[in-house]
Structure 1
């Protein structure tokens, strides 16, 4: 399925990540006005250049500080796989645009082994199981047996960590639904057939993504909350 780019007006308000017992949870004041519907769903609103969540003030950082802190968090984990639900179509395009703005994309890509979208992964793993909805909240309720506070990035990633464990995908399934930020900018194409008697070609000194994924033991779940210009 081709990538549907996230709306260019989407911005990061909250960025959360978790890996085992380690977590990151940061907020930033959006640089655009929020839609009433987005504020109602997420509980976030901006007043006098301050961010509030359910009427309580929230400590914030600049967007660049949030991104730099996120990369520092990833660097502590020895090139983990970045996992999120529907991140291929929404979260990662928004994240990539923000990283590009502050010239941090290359640094980010050195900090991770790749990205993995649990939405198509869950559809693959649970094919034929009669799951009525593949929304994260429904999958967590069905497979983990718990409900959680959706639209809060930290709760999202904590529940996603449990969901990923419950899915228990095979290495082949993980590879099938993995991607890099660079691949978001390129149209999907069929791989060229390998020449007889030869393995797949690759640049000198460069390992394919599946090799990285096969050797990485750590997974970082990510979630972010976006806002839309009115």
Structure 2
């Protein structure tokens, strides 16, 4: 992970980390990130970095500003959440993190279900933003990604029932999505938290070439 960004309304979080592994040349070319002598550069300019623990503790503090929000991201079930779960486990922060949120929603399958009649060829976030909002944005920058996702989510306006069908946790993210239309038993307050969402994006050093189709 090289960048962690989150946004909710007018609040935002944007942190940089020195990746543990060697950055792929293709990823560096697309994202503009490079590591030289243990310093991180973005488009040849040095940026301040945090340790993984510092970044996750800051992320938890950001989430705690809200009342158990939903964590929303595009294609996070396959990529971002597994990386996040491993990092939280490694640093013994998972319980504290999960106590701060209500659950997770992946906007990739959500958009596929909501827009299945539109005949879209691609459900990549950049394409959805262009098709629904009529704008292009600076993709592969995590902060710009979450800002664009927030605008996209506002346009999609999924119902509570639809959100429930796509709701998952770090424990269930590897399971096949359940076709349920009711709120999970014992989680009645979730409906109140659907209005509070935190959009996240973690830029992984080798993720720049992955397709969100």
CA distance in 1, matches of 2:4, 2:42: 14
Superposition misfits of 4+ residues, deviation over 2 angstroms: 187-191
CA RMSD of aligned residues (A): 2.0
Q: Distance in 2 between matches of 1:189 and 1:69?
A: 30
Which structure has the greater CA radius of gyration? 1
Identify the residue that residue 29 of structure 1 maps to in structure 2.
18
> Contact conserved, 1:13 with 1:30, CA < 8 A, in 2?
yes
Q: CA deviation at 1:225?
A: 0.4
Q: How many residues align?
A: 204
Distance 1:114 1:139 in 2: 23
How many angstroms apart in 1 are the aligned matches of 2:177 and 2:28? 38
Secondary structure of the 1:61 match is coil
Normalised to the residue count of structure 2, the TM-score between the two structures is: 0.90
Please point out which of 87, 109, 112 is paired with 2:98.
Answer: 109
2:113 aligns to what SS in structure 1?
A: helix
Residues 167 and 189 of structure 1, relative CA distance in 2, 3 Å threshold: closer
1:151 aligns with 2:140: yes
Q: State the TM-score, normalized to the length of structure 1.
A: 0.84
* C-alpha contact (below 8 Å) 1:32/1:228 kept by paired residues: no
Give the unaligned 5+ runs of structure 1: 1-11, 192-199
Alignment of 1:140-219 (within 5 A): 140-184=129-173, 187-188=175-176, 207-208=186-187, 211-216=188-193, 217-219=195-197
* Partner in structure 2 of residue 136 of structure 1: 125
User: In 2 relative to 1, CA 189–116 (structure 1 residues): closer, same or farther, beyond 3 Å?
Assistant: closer
